[in-house]
Structure 1
Amino acid sequence: MDRVHEMEVLVAIADVGSFAAAGRRLHISPPAVTRAVASLEARLGVRLLNRTTRSLSMTEAGVRFLETARSVLAGIEAAEKEALGEMAAPQGRLTVTTSFTFGRTALAPIVSEFLGAHPQVSLSVLLIDRTVNLVEEGIDVAVRIGPLSDSSLIARRVGQVRRLLVASPKYLDRRGWPQNPSDLKLHSIIAFTGLVANRKWGYLDRGGVAYQSFEPRLEINDAATAIAAATAGDGITVALSYMVAEQLRSGALVPVLEPVTPPPVPVHLVHPHNRLVAPKVRAFIDFAAPKLSRRLQELAVDPLGETPGAEAPG
């Protein structure tokens, strides 16, 4: 077994106090933690940990070895940083992904500014309306909207957005305002599949979230087209608040069923977990995070159609 890995496991156990927590920290299973400790103790010929079902502590040999392990790991990290030129100017090709609409609305100008500030970096921007596996698809950074399900990613929160039901005033004058979620079955629904792939809308109900199903009159995989159809008076659509900020401000669209609008969802910049983050990745996140935060504030419209003040999103 990798000796460096065994040292990392021992240090993690010492830092967090349990095999299970060490596994979560290192993104490995509890049995893998146990195997690493057993392999290390067998190779050294000494017991490093006293462990029972209720307690965990270092032996004297474990304390001595732990100090050496920390020093070795620090030396390896320092060598890697020197080899990578951590303090050098960011360089190389960086791949970033987000959705089509967010890329056009919020990310595009930031990408242009970043390239101007970092002449040795080239960028590949992938606009994809699906969640991609960053490691498998060789992507350095992604913008994720919504709760994060992948605990192996490092995330920096940059803001929040709301999922709204919107329609044009002329449509509502013609068809009437829905008074409760079940009324959606009586209306023409324009479904952007990126947000309502299951043909359901989540709404607040007695402190929790309930779902109303519907049969779309128009179903489409492009948010801009769905919003254009709603603006033209063809029906009600679901959109994230940043997508329709301008239409809400101008009155071309208005929110419906706002009392049961779900709470905001977070927006994060994420990248794969690596012991050493490449300078180009660190530079992009440090550059883009505050700018995306400001851009999301500019595009923030609450369910009542009012623009918030200077307070940063959550």
Structure 2
Amino acid sequence: MRNLNLDQVQTLIAIADLGTFAAAAQALHLAPPTISLHVKELESRMQTHLVARGRRQAELTPAGRALVQEGRKLLAASDDLIDVVRLRAAGGDGLVKVGVSAGVGMQRLPLMLDALRRRNPRVELKLEAVGSAEAMQRLQAATLDVGIVASPQPAVARVALMPWRNDPMVALVPASWEAPETVTPEWLSTRRWASFAPGTQMHGLIAAWFGQAGFNPRPFLTLSYPGALKALATANQSAAILPLDEVDDQQRTPEVLIRPLSPPLMRPMAVAYRSSPTPNEAMTAVLEVLAEFST
């Protein structure tokens, strides 16, 4: 039985992403007849139509969409395999894939990377931006090695959790608002404030902070990245509740004020990692560096 041709799978993914055979040909630097041949051979291999015919825009059939969805995973695994082989050929110890959520402070991450590079230059880190729930699923599926996740998390087979950090949350407020020395749910509920996207740990934490005080205000805007929330406060558009380490770079910014919350709000985080099979030397090195940044 013939195996799938990954170049042909990549062609179908390009068609799905770009909308036409011509655009896929241009992006992949292939002749248009080659694009058509790739699709024809894939369809022959699958014994089904993958692209609907007779349409100006290329529209995938349900089978085509399924192949694209799973094909992306195949291409990612292929890239990882190439990275591992190249790393070993260069004398490296291994590649460790780490999932990092948007709530992890970008001020701290470069320090962790630098510490790993100095201590274990033969270990290569591949960072991926993933939410906590997705990270746990991918750890179980062995497509991630380590994840920095919200805590607590439901127990998952072959995945271990170790407490990592418990960071205080603060309010980042436009300076023109003349905010009180401590920000309460009552005060903030009457102002414009932005929050993390629904379904994230941060969104739930902030909603619970308001709820425990008897308030249920609707955020002015929800966004996925701390940097965007900080920009809104700097532009005098809204307040935001963020981890303290995320706003360290705003300490001397005249456009904003950093205020503690009352009652206090903490953001607990954990390091999740694949515990079976036993972590190799490269994974152990990464876990040791993360442990150093737990306080």
Structure-1-length-normalised TM-score: 0.53
CA apart distance, 1:139: 0.7
Instruction: Quote the RMSD (CA, aligned, Å).
Output: 3.3
Q: For 1:178 and 1:234, how far apart are their aligned partners in 2?
A: 20
Asked whether the equivalents of residues 169 and 254 of structure 1 are also in contact (C-alpha less than 8 Å), the reply is no
Q: 1:17-56 residue pairs with structure 2 within 5 A?
A: none
Structure 2: segments with no counterpart, 5+ residues: 1-90
2:127 alignment partner in structure 1: 125
Identity %: 15
Instruction: Determine which structure has more spread, i.e. the larger CA radius of gyration.
Output: 1
1:260 alignment partner in structure 2: 263
Spell out structure 1 runs of 4+ moving beyond 6 A: 176-179
Could you report, residue by residue, the CA deviation over 1:50-98 in whole angstroms, capped at 9, with x for unpaired residues? Answer: xxxxxxxxxxxxxxxxxxxxxxxxxxxxxxxxxxxxxxx9822210111
Q: Identify which of 244, 256, 267 aligns with 2:247.
A: 244
Rate the CA distance shift 1:276–1:220 in 2: closer, same or farther, 3 A.
closer
Could you report, residue by residue, the CA deviation over 1:176-202 in whole angstroms, capped at 9, with x for unpaired residues? Answer: 899752444421122221455469632
Could you report, residue by residue, the CA deviation over 1:121-154 in whole angstroms, capped at 9, with x for unpaired residues? Answer: 3221112344322122511111124333336432
1:140 alignment partner in structure 2: 145
Rate the CA distance shift 1:90–1:211 in 2: closer, same or farther, 3 A.
farther
Rate the CA distance shift 1:92–1:159 in 2: closer, same or farther, 3 A.
same
Q: 1:161-176 residue pairs with structure 2 within 5 A?
A: 161-172=167-178
1:212 alignment partner in structure 2: 215
Q: For 1:98 and 1:248, how far apart are their aligned partners in 2?
A: 25
Asked whether the equivalents of residues 165 and 270 of structure 2 are also in contact (C-alpha less than 8 Å), the reply is yes
Q: For 1:199 and 1:107, how far apart are their aligned partners in 2?
A: 22
Q: For 2:150 and 2:279, how far apart are their aligned partners in 1?
A: 22
Q: 1:285-300 residue pairs with structure 2 within 5 A?
A: 285-290=287-292, 292-293=293-294
1:155 alignment partner in structure 2: 161
Could you report, residue by residue, the CA deviation over 1:14-53 in whole angstroms, capped at 9, with x for unpaired residues? Answer: xxxxxxxxxxxxxxxxxxxxxxxxxxxxxxxxxxxxxxxx
Q: For 1:269 and 1:141, how far apart are their aligned partners in 2?
A: 7
Q: For 1:111 and 1:213, how far apart are their aligned partners in 2?
A: 39
1:106 maps to 2:111: no
Report the AA paired with residue 164 of structure 1.
Answer: V
Rate the CA distance shift 1:159–1:220 in 2: closer, same or farther, 3 A.
closer
CA apart distance, 1:161: 0.5
SS in 2 for 1:157: strand
SS in 1 for 2:242: strand
1:187 maps to 2:187: no
Rate the CA distance shift 1:211–1:199 in 2: closer, same or farther, 3 A.
farther
